[in-house]
Amino acid sequence: MQTEKPVILCSRCLGFDSCRYNGEMIPAPFIEKLAGFCRIINICPEVEIGLGVPRKPIRIIQKKDTLKLVQSESLRDLTEKMENFSSGFLKRLNDVHGFILKYKSPSCAIHAAKYYPSMEKSPVSGKGPGFFGKAVLATFPGYPAETENRLTNFNIREHFLIKLFTFAKFHSVKKTDKAKQLVDFHSRNKLLLLAYNQKNMREMGKLVAHQKNTGLKETNKRYESLLLDSFKKNASHNSHINVIQHSLGYFSRDIKRDEVSFINNLLAEYKNRKLPLSALRMVIRSYIVRFDIDYLKSQSYFEPYPAELAEVSDSGKGRDLKHI
């Protein structure tokens, strides 16, 4: 089966064009790197609704439950224009698997855009998504969506990549309209799903097993919703330890006691946040190769996204947000 590259929609000012209100562009090295492995499309909603570059900044004004998008100085109310553009554009957007949008932007942000009580100089009255970002979340609920600054955090970046590449693979499977492809997909992703959400993994297994009764179209629909739900939260350290121990069961009898206790020590270090998961996975992979264990070789868990995208750099940013 031909697996398509994931398609990501990005804010245009993230390395594509100097389209910010002040004529600047934000360097986005991670998006540049992703471009080798994904198809990237970009959009600047503010330019699309006819605002030039440079332009007066815009602000979200919050009055009770109503939000308005207003441009400073001219006081133009851009709410309707932006809402119409966003819903029209997103409705026409087919085959997208994820989003990387500009942090804090009153248009693009998916969280943390500032809301003000008026156009006067005043303290912030609230925070939330920008207008375009809000439309993305409503049109593509549960899809991988992040802001560029949070992707500098190792855990958030890894979670985003796992979700993005797994979801894109599932879309390719869905397009084939073949039950066998869904069976293969589920079987290859079992350990990954076990790490993320054991209950859903079992539920998805039942769906696949009974697809003849339910029909493939309905099965795919329910499977997709459980898949997205499984990735709502990042997998915990304990779940990863559970998966590694489960994998260890495939070869622990064939290795020396010293080796088993070495792996157990690594697990303890991982549990105490002294070792990254990637290092642990690498050790287990070396045994998978050594003992030629077909089942584990087939598991996406050990390489859920292209290895070239794995970086251990971590800014620590974004940990305060309970978004993952």
List contacts with ligand SF4 (CB under 6 A).
11-13, 19-20, 44-46, 102, 105, 107-108
Burial of 310 (0-12, 13-18, 19+ CB in 10 A): middle
If the CB atoms of residues 16 and 167 are measured against ligand SF4, the closer one turns out to be 16
- Cβ 270 vs Cβ 240: under 8 Å: yes
Shortest distance (Å) from residue 103 CB to ligand SF4: 9
If the CB atoms of residues 53 and 255 are measured against ligand SF4, the closer one turns out to be 53
CA–CA distances in Å: residue 166 to residues 139, 158, 159, 294: 20, 12, 11, 20
Shortest distance (Å) from residue 32 CB to ligand SF4: 16
* Cα 24 from Cα 17, distance rounded (Å): 8
Which of 87, 89, 54 has the alpha carbon at shortest distance from 73?
Answer: 54
If the CB atoms of residues 99 and 301 are measured against ligand SF4, the closer one turns out to be 99
If the CB atoms of residues 98 and 304 are measured against ligand SF4, the closer one turns out to be 98
Shortest distance (Å) from residue 143 CB to ligand SF4: 18
Shortest distance (Å) from residue 21 CB to ligand SF4: 7
Shortest distance (Å) from residue 53 CB to ligand SF4: 8
Q: What phi, psi does 87 have (nearest 5°)?
A: -70, -40
Q: Which residues contact 202 (CB under 8 A, 6 or more apart)?
A: none
If the CB atoms of residues 71 and 105 are measured against ligand SF4, the closer one turns out to be 105
Helix (H) or strand (E) holding 68: strand 66-71
* Cα 114 from Cα 186, distance rounded (Å): 41
Written as six digits, the tokens of 76 are: 């133009």
* Cα 38 from Cα 44, distance rounded (Å): 19
Spell out the long-range contacts of 67-73 with Cβ–Cβ below 8 A and sequence spacing 24 or more: 67/115, 67/131, 69/106, 69/107, 69/131, 70/119, 72/119
Written as six digits, the tokens of 115 are: 């809301």
* Cα 258 from Cα 249, distance rounded (Å): 15
Shortest distance (Å) from residue 43 CB to ligand SF4: 7
If the CB atoms of residues 102 and 171 are measured against ligand SF4, the closer one turns out to be 102
Shortest distance (Å) from residue 165 CB to ligand SF4: 24
If the CB atoms of residues 13 and 168 are measured against ligand SF4, the closer one turns out to be 13
Shortest distance (Å) from residue 301 CB to ligand SF4: 35
If the CB atoms of residues 84 and 286 are measured against ligand SF4, the closer one turns out to be 84
- DSSP letter assigned to residue 81: H
